[in-house]
A and B are shown apart, each in its own frame.
Chain A
Amino acid sequence: MSDLEHFRADTRAWLEENCPAAMREPVRGFDDLYMGGRNPEVDHPDQQLWCERMAERGWTVPQWPREYGGGGLNKEEAKILQQEMARLGARRPLESFGISMLGPALLKFGSEAQKQEHLPPICRGEIRWCQGYSEPNAGSDLASLQTRAEDRGDHYIINGQKVWTSYADKADWIFCLVRTDNSGSKHEGISFVLFDMASEGVTTRPIKLISGSSPFCETFFDNVRADKRNLVGEEGKGWAIAKYLLTHEREMISAFGAAPSKSLGAVAVENLGSDASGRLRNGILRHTIAQYQLDALAFGATMSRVGDEAKAGQGLGAASSIFKYYGTELNKRRNELNLAIGGEPALGWAGDVYDGGATSRDWLRSKGNSIEGGTSEVQLNIIAKRVLGLPD
């Protein structure tokens, strides 16, 4: 047996032994994900058990280095782990912004001490992070942010306001963009600092969305103290880190564009019926669904192609620049079609008869996909300038 075959056999045996039955059930929506933290929201006690067991092996973050709490797996091993988890239907043990966003930034830009301090608690699901980026007057124009950090020797005093802070009311720590210098261009003088959300002077206020849920907050800083040892990278050079992190966020959001498992056309035929030739009764709706399904197929092929090109060492092609824009626009189209196909029940807002309004709430939430993490218009600006080389 080769090393990889051994690894597969060991992994399979360990997963079968250690993955609790409840963690082999499909996730029921976003609220069913385990996000960890000091005061974790636990829907099922096995969520914590599963996270602990996986964290012990470093498998909450299989490819991070072992010295920071990761699994130290190479690409092939990580793929095998993924395949073996899929075989059991095992859930991912932990989802967090620490894993998907801050971690990659710390690994690239953080000091050794910062990695030692912050990465292991992320791997163990002990600290839940939020992202302090947007401000009331710095949305698409993020670099105009005004939250101020005053230099007080060994620490900063931070004043200002963030908005659209995802789960700020539930997070333990924040990675935050602050202005340490106002004298240069707007991209200079931005710093990337970390601090505890339990610090004196931090308040959060959830924002109720059109979908009825409140995943975002307004976050206020009133003379909040942040130690300088938690400044990541150099003072005033935080914009490079911010941009790096945004690419991770955009990849995450663009994955929403992946085609649903069941064809919309098939659902429409079930709901609305077909003619003698098997064509959906309403020809106009059929055309719109066909356009959507064609684009979803071609978008899925593009995601695969870019991944395969990267694996073959052909580099991350220009195609990756379209993911955020195209994936979110596709997701909005799919949600509009869900309404059109579903009819009156799809417009339901509450009650069991409407499945709690799942279709309409998802539809409303999808409108934010092409705004958060860089609007579609900003994405098109980026393609036009950086990929096509069109001038300002």
Chain B
Amino acid sequence: MALVLTEEQMMLKESAAGLLAQKAGLAQLRALRDAGDTQGFAPEVWQDIATMGWPGIAIPEAYGGLGYGYTGLGLVLEQVGRHLSPVPLQSTVLLGATLINELGSEAQKQSLLPAVAAGELHVSLALQEGPQHAPEDTALKAESAGAGYRLQGGKCLVLDALAAQQFVVIARTAGVPGDSAGLTAFLVAADAAGLTVEQRSLVDARGVGALQLDGVEVDASAVLGEVDAAWNGLSRSLDIANIGLAAELLGVATEAFERTVEYLKERKQFGKVIGSFQGLQHRAAELFAELELARSIVLKALQAVDAEDPQLPLLASAAKAKLCEVAQRATNEGIQMHGGIGMTDEYDIGFFIKRARVAQHTFGDYNYHLDRFAQLSGF
């Protein structure tokens, strides 16, 4: 497949940039943070986004979506990264809808996906339990109880936890922590008895939370897909999610870089603009080169999702590892090259480094994915 954007994709990218810049940009994120918001986004902005049809971008037309594929969603997520938009696209669309589509039965897809596509249902994944991403180590237990299951344990890094109406909780129904087999995905309603949803405050000031499941009882119909067999669908969903996060990081890194280059052209010291110094020029040029590589690997990975490429796991880890590396460098250089003003909360560049680190960590950081890339490459 040619590594270029189609005309339709370019129009989507432009309309996303326009709407997000106007209604869900850095100014709105700052305002939400300063107001102590816990939802993580403004409901009226989500309404506008739903009107544009974005929640259904990657959802097949048969389930009420637009069927544009993940390349289209990735372009929107890149703009979300550029504008640091406080929107629940990652939790509900990139992950929630993908998990339902990958794991769910036909009936589950029929009943849930149209509501997600319409922007009416927020679904979020509850996976991580410890400080690091390690899906095989899932220990949260689900035991048979009557006709259904009883769930016991805790989860963290649940995106947009306070806005979600449903959680996809990954639980162990067989085997021991470390096994990829024996995992089951359960749909758990946010108001289920025994479920506590707690807001957590991370550096990026976005909506994220932790769950405590204290004997939460669900019906057998709450199982998304098959018992003990969530791994393949979960793994593919995580690959897609990591590619989506890589697209978001591409936007974060590119915007931080461009703002920094503009600053280099304005700031004067020693009677000259600092952008004339070769020590800074070469660092900026090297970073430009890295960003071009980053853009290519993200597009290649997005296309691999839509083409059902068997290389998807390798390309997902490649894209995430590369974007973790490049976003870290771009945001670090962003602070350093801005000097003292870059350390102030009043100036915007700090928001980029904060969002970058959380997105980097989410579902596996550089170390996790470079290790996985090497393993999938046969060493």
Contacts and interface: CB of A to CB of B under 8 A. Distances in A.
Given A265-B379, A269-B378, A326 B289 contact: yes
A284 interface: no
Interface residues of A, number: 48
Nearest to B280: A390
A301 B318 CA distance: 12
B4 A388 contact: no
Given A295-B293, A325-B289, A286 B374 contact: yes
B308 interface: no
Interface string B275-319: 110101110111011001111110110000000000000000010
B2 interface: yes
B370 A287 contact: yes
A280 B4 contact: no
A291 B370 contact: yes
A302 B292 contact: yes
B41 interface: no
Contacts of A318: 288, 292
Given A390-B261, A390-B284, A312 B4 contact: yes
Contact of A390 (B275, B294, B373, B375): B275
Given A314-B4, A319-B292, A391-B275, A305 B282 contact: no
Interface string B92-115: 000000000000000000000000
A291 B367 CA distance: 11
Interface in A281-312: 286-287, 289-291, 293-295, 297-299, 301-302, 304-305, 308-309, 311-312
Interface string A356-392: 0000000000000000000001011101110111111
Contact of B278 (A305, A381, A387): A381
Nearest to A272: B379
A388 to B, nearest CB: 5
B232 to A, nearest CB: 20
A377 B292 contact: no
B373 to A, nearest CB: 6
A390 B379 contact: no
Contact of A391 (B276, B295, B375, B379): B276
Nearest to B278: A381
Given A308-B4, A388-B284, A391-B275, A279 B375 contact: yes
A266 interface: yes
A207 interface: no
B377 interface: yes
Contacts of B282: 377, 380-381, 384
B309 to A, nearest CB: 13
**Interface-centre pick from A305, A311, A325, A377 (highest chain B CB count, 10 A):** A305
Contacts of A280: 374, 379
A268 to B, nearest CB: 6
A290 B292 contact: no
Contact of B285 (A269, A384, A391): A384
A383 B4 contact: no
Interface string A53-93: 00000000000000000000000000000000000000000
A153 interface: no
A263 B378 contact: yes
Contacts of A319: 292, 295-296
Contacts of A295: 293, 322
Interface in B258-280: 261, 264-265, 273, 275-276, 278, 280
B370 A290 contact: yes
A379 B265 CA distance: 20
Contact of B3 (A269, A304, A325): A304
A277 B261 CA distance: 44
Interface string B211-232: 0000000000000000000000
A297 B317 CA distance: 12
Contacts of B297: 297-298, 301
B276 A390 contact: yes
A291 B321 CA distance: 9
A380 B378 contact: no
**Interface-centre pick from A308, A312, A384 (highest chain B CB count, 10 A):** A384
Contact of A312 (B2, B295, B370, B378): B2
B270 to A, nearest CB: 14
A278 interface: yes
B288 A389 contact: no
Contacts of B284: 384, 388, 390
Nearest to B301: A301
A298 B276 contact: no
A325 B322 CA distance: 19
A263 B377 contact: yes
Contacts of B374: 265, 279-280, 286, 289-290, 293
Contacts of B294: 298
A289 B379 contact: yes
23 contacts: A263-B377, A266-B378, A266-B379, A269-B378, A269-B379, A290-B373, A294-B321, A298-B297, A299-B293, A302-B293, A304-B3, A308-B3, A309-B4, A311-B2, A318-B288, A322-B289, A326-B293, A377-B282, A381-B282, A384-B281, A387-B288, A391-B276, A392-B276
Interface of A: 263, 265-266, 268-269, 274, 277-280, 286-287, 289-291, 293-295, 297-299, 301-302, 304-305, 308-309, 311-312, 314, 318-319, 322, 325-326, 377, 379-381, 383-385, 387-392
Given A265-B378, A308-B3, A384-B285, 8 more contacts: A263-B378, A280-B379, A301-B297, A302-B292, A305-B4, A308-B4, A385-B281, A391-B265
